[in-house]
Structure 1
């Protein structure tokens, strides 16, 4: 019994030391980053990501100072966000036009940071947020010319199902799936009939000889 208690105490001490060292590393990293990126540090103050360390997202940055020329593709930025944001948020984005375009290598389609910002990420209820309802048309205007107020009426990050905001797209997707199946089936039937007709004509010509 005493031995088990002794082992638990050692493990507890190790966990405290590890937590302290990790916290110290994060604070040191933040301090180093803030020396050059003070403007970004200011943006992060009110961000929902303020509790995070810079290296949480920028894990590829090694050493201080680092190469300022580090570039991140849109797909890489989406993958970066997906490490923490999972479930319906990620799945719905992957199913969207933007997500599919990014997956295929587009650098013009909207990634997470294009809509939510890269550092000053504010909640949807914050009036200064890029995704606040009244600001959505302006956010969409970065890519879409003259967006109408209707842009703000659409729901984002919804599940394609027969119920809820995804209902129209769900049935639209179903319609095109069945339309594709029917068209392809008719095309195969047409080709088979054409082949049958050609073979029949060829046999008829041979008999005529």
Structure 2
């Protein structure tokens, strides 16, 4: 394992810990409130908080396992429905981001699934006031084409994520929040594919990735 690989693993771990801190912290707070509360109505609210936080933690773990880990078994293909379920779990539960699923394939390669999930993560997080997140993928002419479109009242995608996606970022200066974008760039580059990104002036955020099928 190279130093660069270790550094990226550290960035990824930091990102995962940051994202899981909020729901796990809410679990801890709910348990503390429940221990000191005797009112039946308030105890019921504490239990609702615990259930909601537990669901959020489980959904994020499922998503990260598929997006960053080796989920999907030993085969080369992953059912597309697993990716859909993961995205709906992390974004659709709150209703803040509406999901449009336009994936025609029943199965996608593990590489394609990771690219799709990470682009969806970046696009959904860019919708700071919520909005519509459309996700599409199809195989044609010997390649898998992936498109993610984010539209909302306010879209924020900072320069670090943009440069990480297109591969112009300084690796030594990468922060944990850019881990998903850098991973997409690496996955696409290793497959001799291409990645497209809409200009900052565009009213919608559009990602495109094309990877040759092995």
Computing the radius of gyration from Cα coordinates, the structure with the larger value is: 1
Q: Which has the higher contact order (CA 8 A, sep 6+)?
A: 2
Which protein is richer in strand relative to its size? 2
TM-score by structure 1 length?
A: 0.32
TM-score by structure 2 length?
A: 0.31
